Amino acid sequence: DAKTTQPPSMDCAEGRAANLPCNHSTISGNEYVYWYRQIHSQGPQYIIHGLKNNETNEMASLIITEDRKSSTLILPHATLRDTAVYYCIVGSGGGADGLTFGKGTHLIIQP
Amino acid sequence: KAGVTQTPRYLIKTRGQQVTLSCSPISGHRSVSWYQQTPGQGLQFLFEYFSETQRNKGNFPGRFSGRQFSNSRSEMNVSTLELGDSALYLCASSPSGRAGGELFFGEGSRLTVL
């Protein structure tokens, strides 16, 4: 079973910030929080990951709570092309251990 | 830099046949992992290879196998195909597969079993 809980779907208006929550209350101390997204029938795309600190890159920001039991992915200015299924994953992430994908959040950007 | 390349992109097989799927990782990446995606089960980890050695395997029957060549290219094979094997098979590469790294996925091979 996936170790994360995400809302099944969310809507966001184009141009606004999209905030996607994720609960991971059983995360271990050495596990990362990863976010990937999958646009219809394409391969998943890496977005961002973090261990303890908040992270930002050109695509998004990741906010991890101090107790690490939850996190939020922020897309600062959502566009229609951001419509996708977003997966929050906890684990080592590197590939050797395999990623455990849950059902993710289907984010729909409304024009 | 070319991305992860998977071939073929689409294929149709019948029950009982076998299939081989190919994955060329990003140049310099030595870790290749495979995933199966179905509407019912979602994305599931099949196995991971590094330097021609399988390091980890998911919970799939022995009909699913793979290998990696010295140039890091990988193949996966499914024997005695069943209807339930119809899925999108995704390959992902990373430089070493170490913790804290990101995976780069290909576009997948969509297998239909009739």
Query: Residues of chain A with pLDDT > 70: what percent?
Result: 98
Q: Is A43 on the interface with B (CB under 8 A)?
A: yes
User: Which strand ranges, in their side-by-side order, compose the sheet holding A18-23?
Assistant: A18-23, A70-75, A61-64, A55-56
Is A43 in contact with B4 (Cβ distance < 8 A)?
yes
Residue linked to tokens 């890091």: B72
Residue A19 burial by Cβ neighbours in a 10 Å radius (0-12, 13-18, 19+): middle
Among B45, B102, B104, most A C-beta atoms within 10 A, so best to mutate, is: B102
Cα–Cα separations (whole angstroms), residue B19 to A32, A80, B16, B38, B75? 35, 37, 10, 17, 10
Answer whether residue A17 shows pLDDT above 90.
yes
Answer whether residue A61 shows pLDDT above 80.
yes
Residue linked to tokens 């929550």: A21
| Residue A7: cis peptide before it, omega within 30 degrees of 0 | no
pLDDT value of position A1: 52
> SS3 for B7?
strand
Answer whether residue B1 shows pLDDT above 70.
no
Is B101 in contact with A30 (Cβ distance < 8 A)?
no
Is A98 in contact with B104 (Cβ distance < 8 A)?
no
Answer whether residue B112 shows pLDDT above 60.
yes
Q: What is the band of A98 on the pLDDT scale with cuts at 50, 70, 90?
A: confident
Is B56 in contact with A96 (Cβ distance < 8 A)?
yes
Among A33, A41, A52, A88, most B C-beta atoms within 10 A, so best to mutate, is: A41
Q: Please compute the mean of the pLDDT values over residues B59-79 and round it to a whole number.
A: 97
pLDDT value of position A2: 57
Q: Is A76 on the interface with B (CB under 8 A)?
A: no
Q: Please compute the mean of the pLDDT values over residues A13-28 and round it to a whole number.
A: 96
pLDDT value of position A90: 92
Mean pLDDT of chain B: 95
Is A43 in contact with B48 (Cβ distance < 8 A)?
no
Q: Please compute the mean of the pLDDT values over residues B72-92 and round it to a whole number.
A: 97
Higher pLDDT, A79 or A92: A79
Residue A30 burial by Cβ neighbours in a 10 Å radius (0-12, 13-18, 19+): exposed
Convert chain A into a string of H (helix), E (strand) and C (coil). CCCCECCCEEEEECCCCEEEEEECCCCCCCCEEEEEEECCCCCCEEEEEECCCCEECCCCEEEECCCCCEEEEEECCCCHHHCEEEEEEEECCCCCCCCCCCCCEEEEEEC
Is B90 in contact with A43 (Cβ distance < 8 A)?
yes
Q: Please compute the mean of the pLDDT values over residues A15-23 and round it to a whole number.
A: 97
Asked if residue B69 lies in contact with residue B22, where contact means CB atoms within 8 angstroms, the answer is no
